[in-house]
Structure 1
Amino acid sequence: MASIVRDGEWIYGMQLPVQTLTRTLVDPWEDDASVADLVTVARHAEATGHSFVGVCDHVAVPDDDYAARMSTTWYDTVATLGFLAAHTTAVRLLSVVYVAAYRHPLQTAKAFGTLDHLSGGRAILGVGAGHVKGEFDALGIDYHQRGAILDEVLDAVRGAFDAPYVSFDGERFAYDRVGVGPAPVSGDLPVWVGGMGAASWRRAGRIGDGYIPMANPLTQYPEIIDTIRASAQEFGRDEAGFDIGYMPGWAYLTGPAPDDLPPTAIVGADALASDIRSAREAGANVMHVRVRGRTLPEYLDQLDAFAEEVVPLVDS
């Protein structure tokens, strides 16, 4: 496995703001934010100990309720991560999540192999099955087969760097003796699988190195971890050392909380640290942190507060 977290430790990271303007996620300052602001956040995340920053993936949002809720602004995943690689030095670069069924597996292998090579081994291929039917329709891909397509893509990508020339013979994709260098720095890409349900947990155990949560409740984690481990064992994999993600609620850590926080928001360092400690006890070792800030400086202050106040409480 190409897992990232060392045994007994935990890491944290974040999905970046600005790169998507989903109306349910966006803070007011993001609507007018610049590319320089995005770089500022990525660098600040790196400076405050975040192990990864994440960029989402949508190609073409249909003109329906999805566009109203999600907006049509979604930066290209690999282009954005490659750009940020040039503006950072150590933080890992996560696709969260890449709808791999939208692309031929050789394209995915080429893109993320190159990203990993250029960034000095910092890429994490986070994948999911996708959920917007109209987007699949626009791209000419069978929405109802998205899980099966993703499975085949992952099989192909996993084997793409096994030798200078590789072959693959699947139901949807087939090729004979092709090379897709540059290879990842370590020879393999860390793969984290995202999703809310059992199919994604089984997929993570079968072929992934980690699991990306979709705000799953902590009460679900015994089932999540048991399913991942059972799947790993079924396919002859070592389930030890797996990167298990947990996504705490939206957090506000400095001063009086804004009135517009969601009702499930976590207010204060003590409350967030307690939630993360509970997640650690449940078996999670990767925290996908979400903070709110009404301005860019306030957002950066939240990242500071997490590193300076929450992390020591979790580790104490």
Structure 2
Amino acid sequence: MQLPVQSQSSLYAEAWEAGATPGDLIEIARTADRAGFAYVACCDHVAVPRRLADGMGLIWYDPVATLAHLAAVTEHVRLLSHVAVVGLRHPLVTAKQYATLDHLGGGRLILGVGAGHVPEEFAALGVDFARRGPLLDETIDALRAALGPEPYPEHHGPRYDFGDLGQLPRPAQRRVPVWVGGSSPAAVRRAATRGDGWLPQGDPRPERPARIARLRRLRE
């Protein structure tokens, strides 16, 4: 489940969430854990521009901090970033954060990633919004290396180039699953060619079978 409380857009938040506390969030995660849910998920926005605030709201908990907090109070449920806009940060920074989360949580991380949709957020952080698609492709490749088992990960690409830089702890999982979010043709292609899973977003349910069929064709 996508957790309530941690993001409160007017598009989906319910009235009770406005007065909810961190304790409520913990209780919901624990209940999901006890009930056998597959995962609990947390979204990612660094900052919301004023022009979008009425719809998006300003409450967006940091996914790494939130999932790490919930990892400490749950036992079995997996911990999903749905989705992390990983192009906003250097992959070594992202890898350090999520590797630590996976290590502390006993190997329960699923790294959900997406391209992002807020130009002002990219501009404020000095990232080219128009190139976010190719940037995400390379970032996923870099994160595959940086979240792998090697303590000295290596990646050489047009934007990111690193090697001989050690990071410990490694994730508890030998291979952290990467799920790609979005339902555009580019996102479905990215999920098929670079992802371990797909997180559809915003597409009507009747259109899902055709997109899943396309994803399977691309994987073949």
> TM-score, normalised on structure 2?
0.95
Matched residues in 2 for 1:22 and 1:217: separation?
20
Aligned Cα root-mean-square deviation (Å) = 1.3
Task: Verify the 8 A CA contact 1:198 1:227 in the aligned structure 2.
Answer: no
Residue 284 (structure 1) aligns with = none
Pairwise mapping of residues 261-272 of structure 1 onto structure 2 (< 5 A)?
none
Residue 211 (structure 1) aligns with = 198
Structure 2 runs not aligned, ≥5 long? none
| Identity percentage of aligned residues | 49
Change (3 A) 1:179 1:230: farther
Task: Verify the 8 A CA contact 2:151 2:170 in the aligned structure 1.
Answer: no
Name the SS for the 1:106 alignment partner.
helix
Residue 109 (structure 1) aligns with = 95
Matched residues in 2 for 1:177 and 1:224: separation?
40
Bigger Rg, which one: 1
Name the SS for the 2:79 alignment partner.
strand
Name the SS for the 2:155 alignment partner.
strand
Is structure 2 residue 77 aligned with structure 1 residue 85?
no
Matched residues in 2 for 1:230 and 1:156: separation?
25
Name the SS for the 2:12 alignment partner.
coil
Matched residues in 1 for 2:107 and 2:28: separation?
21
Structure with the bigger percentage of strand: 1
Residue 126 (structure 1) aligns with = 112
Task: Verify the 8 A CA contact 2:149 2:170 in the aligned structure 1.
Answer: no
Pairwise mapping of residues 1-316 of structure 1 onto structure 2 (< 5 A)?
14-64=1-51, 66-160=52-146, 161-233=148-220
Q: Once the two structures are superposed, what CA deviation does each residue of 1:83-141 show, in whole Å capped at 9, x if it has no partner?
A: 00011111110001000101101111111111111100110000000001111111111
Q: Once the two structures are superposed, what CA deviation does each residue of 1:180-226 show, in whole Å capped at 9, x if it has no partner?
A: 22222221111110002111111111111100111422332333223
Shift of residue 24, structure 1, vs aligned partner? 1.4
Task: Verify the 8 A CA contact 1:20 1:75 in the aligned structure 2.
Answer: yes
Shift of residue 162, structure 1, vs aligned partner? 4.6
> TM-score, normalised on structure 1?
0.67
Matched residues in 2 for 1:172 and 1:67: separation?
31
